[in-house]
Amino acid sequence: MKKAQKEVRDVFGCDMTNIMGEEYWMSNKLSYLQLVIKETLRLHTPAPFLLPRENKERCKVMGYDIPLRTTVMVNAWAIARDPKYWDKPEVFWPERFEENHVDMKGAHFEMIPFGAGRKICPGMHFALATVEMALAYLLYFFDWEYSAKNGEELDMSEDFGLSIRRKTPLCLLATPST
């Protein structure tokens, strides 16, 4: 988090009004923060399964015959953690995307948090911009510390359902930056 926070503060400098400028959000200057967002969406996919689809013709996928009009669900969570596609898939490692140019727009099927094709999420660009802006504000204006209760380790286990969320609440202590 310190690396992303340093990047945000370096880009916007000490003039807090700069953070409001649209040119910063359109220029991709927060490259490390974008890597953090990408890695977060890979490791903690918001929805484990993409919207179900029905195939319009018989086909064969990886040796399996799929009959006509079969409802197919894609497990995006499992794909994003598959060691066939990712080195150390269970590790949060944003730097993996520095040289790996996998996008989230459905062109690379090893990472599809927003789906792909005609049924890709129409709000993807809005969601990514909103998350980037919110995180930049939070990292710029606050210093963050993990507030462990009774010395507990950070538990990143997930609770599965229609969407995925953490099993235990994340307690952070925010202090206004000076």
For the annotated binding site for heme, the residues are 121
Least Cα distance to 158 among 40, 73, 50 occurs for: 40
List, in sequence order, the alpha helices (H) in 1-122.
Answer: 2-12, 22-26, 31-43, 76-80, 96-99
Q: How far apart are CA 78 and CA 49, in angstroms?
A: 9
Residue numbers belonging to the annotated binding site: 121
What would the two tokens of residue 89 be?
């898939």
Q: How far apart are CA 160 and CA 165, in angstroms?
A: 7
Half-sphere exposure of 64 (CA within 13 A, CB side): 7
Least Cα distance to 44 among 105, 96, 111 occurs for: 111
Q: How far apart are CA 5 and CA 17, in angstroms?
A: 17
